[in-house]
Amino acid sequence: MEIEYGVKSITLKHAVMKNAYHRIIAGLLASLSLIVLGSCSSSLSYNEALKKNTSKIEDPERHDDARFLVEAASYNMLAMQMAEEAVKSGYSASLVSLARENREQHEEMAKELKKLARDENIILPAEMSDEHQKLMAELKSADRSEFDRTYIRILRDINEEDQQQFSQMATDATSEDVRAFAARKLDLFEAHKSQLQTVDAELLRTY
């Protein structure tokens, strides 16, 4: 009887350990799925990402946070692609230097956005908004003689527009982490504004 009891005890312990193992695996898979859903590794367009976030986020107060991060991702993609184009096609040395610096800054912002989106369980788009795509097409189609001025004009406009959004979300976002992210980037927008003014003034003197 003691031997039989010992066997039953071992079998019971094995079953408990097996169930615990299955629970751990299930938890890891669930966490992995949240990470995948929460990043911009999806192939969703700008509008699709907006709709997906609205449908999956139950708290209506977080919808503005999601929209902000989607818009910020689109803006950041535009800024990076514009910088890439300016490095290749820019005429002024100061503009090319500015574009290189912007590219590095926005690459860093892209990493921050992905991490924040993952933490907030918000889906980012893999494509820019239609408006931002049109602006990129406008830059690419600009004549060589007008490229530098077109780059400055577009970047100045989107910088001003997004600075307003970041400033608003630095105080109005529901998530503390989203507020902190928006607030940290305000100095970057101010720096960009000053740099654009300097380069624009140089272009006016040169051409």
Q: What is the pLDDT of residues 110-169, one digit of tens each?
A: 999 999 999 999 999 999 999 999 999 999 999 988 999 999 999 999 999 999 999 999
Structure tokens at 60: 């209506």
The domain spans of the chain are 38-206
The pLDDT score that the predictor gives to residue 24 is 56
Question: Is residue 17 very low, low, confident or very high in pLDDT (cuts 50, 70, 90)?
Answer: low
pLDDT digits (tens, 9 = 90+) for 70-108: 999 999 999 999 999 999 999 999 999 999 999 999 999
d(CA 20, CA 14): 10
- Least confident among 16-30, 115-129, 183-197: 16-30
Is residue 9 predicted with pLDDT exceeding 60? Answer: no
Q: Is 153 exposed, middle or buried (0-12, 13-18, 19+ CB in 10 A)?
A: middle
Q: Is 173 helix (H, G, I), strand (E, B) or coil?
A: coil
CATH architecture of the domain with residue range 38-206: Up-down Bundle (1.20)
The pLDDT score that the predictor gives to residue 205 is 78
85 contacts: CB under 8 Å, gap ≥ 6: 136, 139, 140, 151
- Least confident among 22-31, 51-60, 62-71, 78-87: 22-31
Q: What percent of the chain has pLDDT over 70?
A: 79
Q: Ramachandran region of residue 180, left (φ > 0), alpha (ψ -120 to 50) or beta?
A: alpha
Where b means 16+ CB within 10 Å and e means fewer, 187-197 reads ebbeebeebbe
